[in-house]
Every structure is written in C-alpha cells, then in structure tokens.
Chains A and B, each alone.
Chain A
Amino acid sequence: MNASIANPEQTSTLFPEVLKDSNPGRPANLSRRRFLRDSSLAGTATLLSPFPTARAWSQVGQAAPLLLGHSSAPDISIEIGEIEWELSPRKRIRTTAYNGQIPGKLLRLTEGKPVTIEIENKLDRPDIVHWHGQWIPPDVDGAMEEGTPMIAARGRTQVTFTPKPSGLHWYHTHVTAHRDLKKALYSGQFGILLVEPRSNPAPYDLEQFLVLHDWEPYFVTSDDGSQMVNYDISSINGRMLGHDNPIQVRQGQRVLFQILNASATEVHWLALPGHQFQVLALDGRPVPTQAKVDVLRLGPAERITAIVTMNSPGIRILGETRSRFRDAGMGTIIEYANASGKPQAPPQVQLSWDYRVFGEANITTHKPDVSIPLIFTSRFQGHGALDRWMINGKSFPDTDTVMLKEGLRHRLVFDNRSTDDHPVHLHRHAFELVSIRGASTSGIFKDVVIVEAKSRVEVDLVADNPGATLFHCHQQDHMDSGFMALFRYA
C-alpha cells in the first residue's frame, strides 16, 4: 500500500514557495473534485493508503479512545504490540509496531494546538515513544535519559504536548537494542508525525509519504574490522519494491514527497529516473534555497520534503540508486497514466550530497557566544564486537554533560575522527548548519546532520528550550554503544 494522499483540501500544503516553479502548462491549484476525476487511480491509492487522509484522520482522532483510569480523553491512541507483517507475498516478518501497521499511522497534528496521546504498551518489556523533531518538554519528549518515564510492560500512559515546530517529523521507540536486533529501531516501531501550520496554504496535486526501512538485520564484520549491522530486506512504506500499489500520476502533476529514513543504521540514496527533486524542507524546516537535485541522501532519522513535477511519462522506480538495496526491496513504482512497459530503475550514479546547496545564497555569519567541541572517536573492542563510541573521550553514561546557557548562541563543533559517518541528532531543538568540512553555509535548520568520517561540521544552537536534552548518533548500534551525551541548561 502506498501512503498516497490526494491533497485533501486542495489548498493545504506547507510550502507556498513551490509556486515559484509551477508548471505553466497545468494549473497549480487543482480542485479535489477535478483531481479525483482526472486521476481515479490516485483516488484508489488514497483509499488503499495505510495513512488516513486528513479528513479520515480527524475521524480517527474523534474515535472513542481506549482509556482505563484516565481522566481526560486522548486525541490519539497508540498501541505498541507484536505483529506479523507482509513485506511481500513471499516475505512475512514478525516484529513490533504501532497500531498493527508499518509504518504506524500518520499523525497529522496542528502546530500550537495541544494534543493528548495515549500509549498502550502490550509488550512484555518497558518501552518509550520519542516525538522526534518536536520542541517539547523533556518529561514528554520520549527519552528516559532526559527524564521521560518509561511505559511499563503491559502498561499505558498519556502524554500531552503542544506540537511545534510544523513540518515533517516522526515518532519512534527510543529503547536500546545492543545485540538484540529485534528491538528498538530494528523493529517496526516508527511512524510519521506531520505538524501542519495553522495557516500557510499552498498547492500541490498529490502528497506522498515515503518511509524507508531495513529489515532482517544481522551482524557482519565490516571492512574496517569491526562488527556492523547488515540487512537482507528493505522497504518503502512497509512493502518491498514491486509489492505495493504503484503511485499513479499524470503528466504535469506536482507531487509532494514527504520522505523519512526510519532505518536503524543505513543511509539511503533515492532517485527517480528522468525527474528532479525540488527540495523544500530538511527535517521539516523549510530551506532558504529550494534547489533541484537528481538524488536525495537521507541518513537515519533525516527527513526531506521535496516536490517533483511529473514531466517524464513512463513507469519508473523511485528507489535506491544502489542496486543491492533496490534488489532488497527499497523502491516504489511511479506509474504515469496510460503508460506501459517495464519499470525503469534509477541509474547507478556517483553518490554525492552537499547540504549547502540548500543554504542561503548570501551567507549570514553569526558570532557564537560559546564554542563547544565534540570529538567523536571509537574504541576497538575486537573483531567480534561492536566498537565503543565516545564523545570527547567518554562513552555514555560517563560522557561529560554539556552545559547550555539560555538565550546564548552555542557553536557545536562536531569533529568526527572516526572512519564511520554519524547522523547526529539533538532532541528538543533545531540547530543551524554553519560549516561543513570548512565550507560555510547558513539558513539550514535541522535536528539531524550527517557528520562524515574524518570531517568536521559546525552548527549553531540557540538555547531556547530549557531542560535536559539528549544528543546522540541516530545509528542504533552507535547509540547503544555509548554515542550519547546529555545537554543541560545552566
């Protein structure tokens, strides 16, 4: 099933700037009726979607909640449980997931409008749900290291927060896995959290959510001699390539792709042959320059919002540029109306990515109030073990606490001296990219950034959300092996 959502109210998108590049041959602002008339298959895809439309979701939100012993009715209920899931007719897996589906149901919230979510944990072990990308208090953020309570085995809890900021975010488990590759982000415990602004409408014809994930993990000895996690199966929206309904499009349509890499450890590169992605937002935050690119790179936990004008008819695979991942299932079919033939796969391309192309054309420089070096290194534990990861020479929980002062601009200097790339994530805040490998940029705000091996990335963090804040590598095996630190406000 594709997470295809025909623009429910025809004017509801997040990015008015996309109008800058609208296709002159086609009205940018289709009516819902006309869209459905013109694209009945897209409508079918919508009906088959595991994600409810905004309207359907609003009905879900009003459904009678499962509440025992709680005084307030939740807006949303999430159930954590074991499921058997069909990635393809020949590949079924047992895993844990939210509300019996992969990915978990789309949570479409409104910025600034408080929401109460009830979480029922049907597992025999404690769990916790992290609201990734949200600037919310530490007691509900969903990290036990910050002080959020775990949800007891077979227990339930309620959290209430006010969604902020708007954009494409996600929710996922925040437990550790260590060598148990059935737990944490190796499982199906993830879903999209889309926070819409109260206003700011803009047009698109079709909104498409793509959630990338890798399955059936196992340890292998990597080329550099330490153990790493490898996978047999990959999927988009819980389906392997060729086993999902094609995304039906028409020439001239503008498709808004909301893409999340929910893989526990893998970076993914996506392309759609004959098309370019106009990137509107990174990690839910609009970018100053909506550059067009042929290939998207998403590290674990990164999100990209991009629009594609459908101007190259045919049947294409939107998928991994690397054939080994595509063969494992990382792809989905884009099918133009009346097109036939064999799907065209993305060509093998040189993999390169530079965040800076999305930055401000005229770079704004800020003088930081404080500079905080964070040096990433690893300690070899044997060819049959995972490396131990360190920040400034120490592994969590022994890492030094980073002290922030409210209102000050802190320059975090990520100095990756290891031979691995690290998608580092800061909870409850966004940071602005300042430099990458010494090259300056500005205007790009993210909550995850890949710090490539043997490189340095500088970001600015304006401390504006007091409370304990977790910083960690979002690669599950790195996080589990000590790559975490706690930031606190002085």
Chain B
Amino acid sequence: MKSFRFPLAAFVAVIIIPFAHAQGNYEIQVYGADTVPPRSTMVELHSNYTADGQKYFIDGVAPTNHAEHETIEITQGINNWSEVGFYIFTSEQSGTGVQWVGDHIRPRVRVPERWRWPVGVSLSTEVGYQRAFFSNDTWTWEIRPIVDKTVGRWYFAVNPALERTWHGPDVNLGIGFSPAAKISYDFTKQISGGLEYYADYGSITNIASLHDQQQQFFPAVDLNVSPKWEINFGVGIGPTAATDHWIVKGIIGRRFDWGRPKNQ
C-alpha cells in the first residue's frame, strides 16, 4: 500500500491503548515499477471506505470507522525513467464533514527498460504533511523499493517500504517496515484479478507481535479497458486487532498525453 497510514503512531497506539487501531487508508495501492511517460500526466482518484474500522478517538486522532477517504493523486512523467507524484488527502465522516487531511509529494525513479533487467525495479520516496487531527505524526517520510515481474498472464510485485516520522510522537521510534505485495492473473486482456497484501510490522529494530501488526489482504480486480485508464477495485480484510477489519477501495485514473502529435 502506497499510503500514509501512520503506522508508527498506530504501533504506539496499539501498545499504549490496546483497543486502538491503525489510522489512515488514504491510498491503497501496490506500486508497479512503471513510471508515467514523459509529456503525460496521470490523474487518479482513490476512494476508500472503512466499513469496519477504528471507532474511537485515540489521543485526539479521529477514528476511521465509516470514514470515506478521497485522495487525488497527480503524477507527472519527467522522462522515461522518472516521475513526480502529488497527493491531496481528504476525509469525510459523520460529525466532521469533509476535511482536508494533508499533502504529500513523491518523486520516483526506475531502472529504464533499456537496461533489460530481468525484473522491473524502481524507487520512490514520499514526504508529506498530515493534520494532527488525522495523525499525531504530522511530518513523515517513506522510501519504497519496487520490484515487479510479468510472466505470461501472471504479475508479481513487492514493495518493501520503510517509513520514518519526522515530526510527532514516533520520531524516536526509528524506521518502520511496511511491505506490500501483489499477485494477479490476466483472465482476459481487459480483466486481471489477484490478491494484494499490505502490512505494517512496526519498527525494523523491534518487530511487533502479530496481534499488534497491521495485516490486510485485498482480493482485487484490475480493468485494463484502455491504455489511458486505470481502474482497480478491491475489498480488504484486516485479520489482526491493529488493522481496520473491512475496507472497500477503488482507484480510477486517467492519463493525459500532451505536447506530442497523436500519431507520433
């Protein structure tokens, strides 16, 4: 999951307040190694609804239960091996209305295809701010290696992300480990289905117990209806106490090509 889910805050909350749950779920996506082509802009809307999540305010942070999170992601291709993404996070919830949550910026570079590596590899880093009402850690940083591979109809991707809090209670907790992975199968040219996995193991120097880890599994479908469109839908199950138990997620994206003739 390429997201700010404030895992360290969640980890602390889990430790300190046993019934606490992780916060967030703003952008739930396993990254592939591809980057947006140059002279193209990708605009995505991430819609995530927590059907069964954290129901209480914890340390002044809003609950996630029945929260609708809408995230606008705008990614600009720089060249054939880099891009920059920008996020606008919002939350809508009974009692609080529509709220701006924060913004992130995410540069990413990839190993160009011309290097002919046997797997796709890219590296993204993400820095951003989120309001304390939604996360005690207001400034966070993430670095996310991305490795993927397509073999015939099968697709595999892993994102072993590392996260760090720059401002907030988790500053002293060090680096957190939040891997994500995906496996999918092309049923047809247009329809692929598979399983996405998101986790937060807490600090890499002090891995949390399973009970306190975030673990989410999303059976998900990708619709490849057009090269310009990205459509993804999934339902997530969080089996551990520290995880929101049910989340419905959807992504719809449109790529805009500009600055080049249509037939070039």
Query: Which of B114, B149, B227 gathers most chain A CB within 10 Å?
Result: B114
Among B113, B186, B227, contact of A223 (Cβ-Cβ < 8 Å): B227
Whether the Cβ atoms of A218 and B113 lie closer than 8 Å is: yes
Nearest 8 A-B pairs (CB), nearest first? A384-B150, A382-B153, A223-B227, A380-B189, A382-B152, A385-B152, A232-B114, A382-B186
With a CB–CB cut-off of 8 A, which chain B residues contact A26?
none
The answer to whether residues A225 and B150 also contact, given A230-B113, A382-B186 and a CB cut-off of 8 A, is no
The answer to whether residues A383 and B113 also contact, given A224-B227, A348-B264, A350-B263 and a CB cut-off of 8 A, is no
Query: Which of A221, A230, A380, A384 gathers most chain B CB within 10 Å?
Result: A384
With a CB–CB cut-off of 8 A, which chain B residues contact A382?
150-154, 186
Whether the Cβ atoms of A384 and B151 lie closer than 8 Å is: yes
The contact sample of 19 A-B pairs, CB cut-off 8 A, is A220-B113, A225-B189, A225-B227, A226-B189, A322-B264, A348-B261, A351-B263, A351-B264, A381-B152, A382-B150, A382-B151, A382-B152, A382-B153, A382-B186, A383-B155, A383-B186, A383-B192, A384-B150, A384-B151
Distance between Cα atoms of A94 and B258 in the complex (Å): 37
- Given A383-B186, A384-B154, 15 further pairs, Cβ under 8 A: A224-B227, A230-B114, A322-B264, A348-B264, A350-B261, A350-B263, A351-B263, A380-B186, A381-B153, A382-B186, A383-B224, A384-B149, A384-B150, A384-B152, A385-B153
With a CB–CB cut-off of 8 A, which chain A residues contact B186?
380, 382-383
Q: Mark A37-62, 1 if CB is under 8 A from B, else 0.
A: 00000000000000000000000000
B188 at the interface (CB under 8 A from A): yes
* Closest CB in chain A relative to B77 CB, distance in Å: 14
Within 217-243 of B, Cβ neighbours of A (below 8 Å) are at: 224, 227
* Closest CB in chain B relative to A323 CB, distance in Å: 8
A145 at the interface (CB under 8 A from B): no
A350 to chain B: closest residue by CB: B261
A222 to chain B: closest residue by CB: B227
A230 to chain B: closest residue by CB: B113
With a CB–CB cut-off of 8 A, which chain A residues contact B155?
383-384
* Closest CB in chain A relative to B58 CB, distance in Å: 42
Distance between Cα atoms of A223 and B224 in the complex (Å): 10
Q: Mark A366-404, 1 if CB is under 8 A from B, else 0.
A: 000000000000001111110000000000000000000
With a CB–CB cut-off of 8 A, which chain A residues contact B192?
383
* Closest CB in chain B relative to A471 CB, distance in Å: 26
Whether the Cβ atoms of A225 and B224 lie closer than 8 Å is: yes
Q: Mark A301-330, 1 if CB is under 8 A from B, else 0.
A: 000000000000000000000100000000
With a CB–CB cut-off of 8 A, which chain A residues contact B151?
382, 384
* Closest CB in chain B relative to A333 CB, distance in Å: 23
Query: Which of A351, A383, A385 gathers most chain B CB within 10 Å?
Result: A383
Within 168-187 of B, Cβ neighbours of A (below 8 Å) are at: 186
Distance between Cα atoms of A285 and B227 in the complex (Å): 40
A360 at the interface (CB under 8 A from B): no
Distance between Cα atoms of A218 and B263 in the complex (Å): 22
Whether the Cβ atoms of A384 and B264 lie closer than 8 Å is: no
Whether the Cβ atoms of A218 and B264 lie closer than 8 Å is: no
* Closest CB in chain A relative to B207 CB, distance in Å: 34
A216 at the interface (CB under 8 A from B): yes
With a CB–CB cut-off of 8 A, which chain B residues contact A224?
227
With a CB–CB cut-off of 8 A, which chain B residues contact A380?
186, 188-189
Distance between Cα atoms of A218 and B117 in the complex (Å): 10
With a CB–CB cut-off of 8 A, which chain A residues contact B153?
381-385
* Closest CB in chain A relative to B127 CB, distance in Å: 30
Distance between Cα atoms of A385 and B152 in the complex (Å): 5
Within 330-347 of A, Cβ neighbours of B (below 8 Å) are at: none
B255 to chain A: closest residue by CB: A223
Distance between Cα atoms of A221 and B189 in the complex (Å): 12
Distance between Cα atoms of A224 and B228 in the complex (Å): 9
Whether the Cβ atoms of A218 and B189 lie closer than 8 Å is: no
Distance between Cα atoms of A220 and B189 in the complex (Å): 16
Q: Mark B42-86, 1 if CB is under 8 A from A, else 0.
A: 000000000000000000000000000000000000000000000
B224 to chain A: closest residue by CB: A225
Within 133-155 of B, Cβ neighbours of A (below 8 Å) are at: 149-155
Distance between Cα atoms of A487 and B210 in the complex (Å): 66
B153 to chain A: closest residue by CB: A382
Distance between Cα atoms of A224 and B226 in the complex (Å): 7
B115 to chain A: closest residue by CB: A218
Distance between Cα atoms of A152 and B227 in the complex (Å): 44
Within 212-263 of A, Cβ neighbours of B (below 8 Å) are at: 216, 218, 220-221, 223-226, 230, 232
The answer to whether residues A383 and B114 also contact, given A223-B227, A224-B227 and a CB cut-off of 8 A, is no
Distance between Cα atoms of A383 and B261 in the complex (Å): 26
B150 to chain A: closest residue by CB: A384
* Closest CB in chain A relative to B193 CB, distance in Å: 13
* Closest CB in chain A relative to B57 CB, distance in Å: 44
A384 to chain B: closest residue by CB: B150
With a CB–CB cut-off of 8 A, which chain B residues contact A351?
261, 263-264
Distance between Cα atoms of A382 and B227 in the complex (Å): 15
B116 to chain A: closest residue by CB: A218
Distance between Cα atoms of A432 and B151 in the complex (Å): 42
With a CB–CB cut-off of 8 A, which chain B residues contact A322?
264
* Closest CB in chain B relative to A229 CB, distance in Å: 11
With a CB–CB cut-off of 8 A, which chain B residues contact A232?
114
With a CB–CB cut-off of 8 A, which chain B residues contact A223?
227
With a CB–CB cut-off of 8 A, which chain B residues contact A381?
152-153
Within 76-119 of B, Cβ neighbours of A (below 8 Å) are at: 113-114, 116
Distance between Cα atoms of A380 and B153 in the complex (Å): 9
Distance between Cα atoms of A230 and B115 in the complex (Å): 12
With a CB–CB cut-off of 8 A, which chain A residues contact B113?
218, 220, 230
B228 to chain A: closest residue by CB: A223
Among B116, B150, B263, contact of A221 (Cβ-Cβ < 8 Å): B150
Whether the Cβ atoms of B114 and A216 lie closer than 8 Å is: yes
* Closest CB in chain B relative to A397 CB, distance in Å: 22
With a CB–CB cut-off of 8 A, which chain A residues contact B116?
218
* Closest CB in chain A relative to B17 CB, distance in Å: 44
* Closest CB in chain B relative to A322 CB, distance in Å: 5
Distance between Cα atoms of A255 and B18 in the complex (Å): 85
With a CB–CB cut-off of 8 A, which chain A residues contact B189?
225-226, 380
Distance between Cα atoms of A286 and B150 in the complex (Å): 47
